[in-house]
Amino acid sequence: MRSQKLGKNISEVEILNISVFGIWIYVKGKEYFLDFENYPWFQNAKISQILNVELLHNNHLSWPDLDIDLDVEILETPEKYPLVYK
């Protein structure tokens, strides 16, 4: 008996892992790491709040339960978007 081919991955955004160091997130075929040092808003959040993430307009990540919004470009080029004012 042969196994069928796997289907196409239709998930645009998915939380892959949550650790004591941060969150691994899959967005449109790429994996990103959001460490708690640079993204402290997630550190004390409930797992269910972190898992409730949406991809809006093909480039905007939203966590409605946490009132957090990030553009995918911030994850691509974080050096352009410092999170702390100097």
pLDDT at residue 9, as a whole number: 52
> Does the pLDDT value for residue 7 go beyond 90?
no
The pLDDT assigned to 21 comes to 97
Residues ≥6 apart with Cβ < 8 Å to 76: none
In a domain, 73, yes or no: yes
Asked whether residue 1 is domain-assigned, the answer is: no
pLDDT in tens, 15-45: 999 999 999 999 999 999 999 998 999 999 9
What value does the mean pLDDT of the chain take? 88
- pTM of the model as a whole: 0.79
d(CA 69, CA 17): 19
Any idea what the CATH number is for the domain that residue 48 is in?
A: 3.30.2020
In this prediction, residue 11 has a pLDDT band, given cuts at 50, 70 and 90, of low
For residue 28, what are the domain limits? 13-80
Place of tokens 């990030």: 70
The residues near 25 (Cβ < 8 Å, ≥ 6 apart) are 13, 14, 15, 16, 31, 32, 33, 34, 53, 61, 75
CA atoms within 13 A on the CB side of 47: 5
